[in-house]
Structure 1
Amino acid sequence: MRAMFRARKEVFIDLLQWDVPALAGEYELDQFDNPDAEYLILLADGCTHRASARLLKTDRPHLLGDLYPHLCAGPLPTGPTIREITRFCLDRHQRADERRSARNQLVTALVEYALETGLTGYTGVAELAWFEQVRRFGWACEALGQPMQHGADLLTALHIRIEPDTLDRLRGAGTYEALTHALATTGSEGGQ
């Protein structure tokens, strides 16, 4: 967990210059890193962070519902089978090809996790350029409203539907990649 929070600080605060808190100047955490949060963490060599994502229950406080509901033109998808993907983080200390592989493995793990646990979808908030990438991963992904200016960024709310053929769709888009390293799931429903 520490490696993930450290990697998040390096990406979101140091690289992307987000104005979010850093615990002890070393770890990126916010009010949503609480006992209800779930994490998928892709590890190398047992404890080296490669990639991670935080999953928030949408029937509890979450970013889109609490901080960015204005990004949605209609009803916000919520409920016990929908999670919000936040803090999708690729470790900066990897080569470009390693980051791409970690990204693909994490996307694959998100779909496999959803299918195994009965999740039907994910929501999220993304900068417009990142949303365009996410949409091309192969899964059914749609904007929930028009992009809106937030500071220097254009932000978009998104909804990803997880369906029985989603893994096949990832394969067709060239995004599917089986795990070659360990995946840790932590949180209220995951083990460690």
Structure 2
Amino acid sequence: MLHILHSTHGGVPDHILRGMFAARKSVFIDLLKWDVPVLAGLYEIDQFDDQHASYLVLTDENDAHMASARLLPTTREHILGDIFPELCEVPAPRGETIYEITRFCLDRSLNARDRRTVRDTLVNAIVGHALVNDITTYTAIAEMGWYSQILAFGWDCRPLGLPHSDGTKTIAALAITIDSATPGLLDAAGIRSMSTTLPRDNRVAA
């Protein structure tokens, strides 16, 4: 099941958001050793998880987390434009129709075959979300292994600058153009969704 979650300020996350934040902690802190905030020792939540963030979350039949991504508007503070602007040769793209993809997270419980299927389903969901919400461009920052995968998805994707290294990892920024041709480009590259995935749009507190 695909859940499209729109956060509101205050309150306590529901079980789907708690599962997502716990999965983010497992991936980005426990596995990748990112130096980012942890809430209650269980959840990876930062300053961008506020009323402006939206989330696409894939869950199994029991609502357990499988994959998720956070989308941030670029008309306000966001990671590329305000924390890593040096990754862009020119000022980072901003605008009402430009959103930043962050915290693309695949649950560590997935096996290799399911991981590929779930990844491709989330990528298609991100594109579908853009098409129905008049989003024309996504920006993102990625470590080089993931960056290479993104470039190979078949969509209209371009680097925004040269990769930068902090001594432990190398990251780079990119922009993805989304239009009516994008789903076909993904399909031609073999990036296809699970056929049973249906959207559920929930407005919840984060």
Common topology (TM > 0.5): yes
The one-character-per-residue Cα deviations of 1:88-125 (angstroms, maximum 9, x if unpaired) are 00000111111111100000000111011110010011
| Match among 96, 104, 107 for residue 91 of structure 1 | 107
CA contact (8 A) 2:155 2:186 kept: yes
Identify the residue that residue 8 of structure 2 maps to in structure 1. none
Residue 127 (structure 1) aligns with = 143
Match of 1:24 in 2: 40
Q: Number of residues paired by the alignment?
A: 189
SS state at 2:145 partner: helix
Quick one: distance in 2 between partners of 1:183 and 1:153?
A: 35
Which of the numbers 151, 159, 166 marks the counterpart of 2:182?
Answer: 166
SS at match of 2:77: coil
Task: State the secondary structure of the residue aligned to 1:122.
Answer: strand
Separation of aligned partners in 2, 1:68 and 1:35 = 22
Identity %: 49
Q: Which residue of 2 aligns with 1:8?
A: 24
DSSP 3-state at the match of 1:134: helix
Structure 1 residue matching 2:184: 3-state secondary structure: helix
Q: Does the CA-based 8 Å contact 2:58-2:66 persist in structure 1?
A: yes
Which of 176, 180, 183 lines up with 2:196 in the alignment? 180
Structure 1's unaligned 5+ residue stretches are: none
Distance 2:182 2:60 in 1: 26
Could you give the per-residue CA deviations for residues 166-189 of structure 1, whole angstroms, max 9, x where no partner exists?
0000000001224534545556xx
Aligned residues of 1:40 and 1:184 also touching (Cα < 8 A):
no
Residue in structure 2 matched with residue 35 of structure 1 by the alignment: 51
State yes or no: 1:57 paired with 2:57. no
RCO greater where, 1 or 2, for CA within 8 Å and sep 6 or more? 2
CA contact (8 A) 2:118 2:194 kept: no
SS at match of 2:140: strand
Report the equivalent of 2:61.
45
2:99 matches 1:72: no
Find the aligned partners of 2:88 and 2:201 in 1 and give their Cα distance.
29
Rounded Cα–Cα distance in structure 2 between residues aligned with 1:115 and 1:87: 21
For the residue of structure 2 that corresponds to 1:109, the secondary structure is helix
Match of 1:140 among 156, 161, 185: 156
TM-score computed with the length of structure 2 as normaliser = 0.87
Give the CA RMSD over aligned residues. Answer: 1.7
Instruction: Read off the aligned partner of 2:161 and give its amino acid letter.
Output: G
Match of 1:82 among 79, 93, 98: 98
CA distance in 2, matches of 1:5, 1:180: 24
Inter-CA distance 124–139: structure 2 relative to 1 (3 Å threshold)? same
SS at match of 1:40: strand
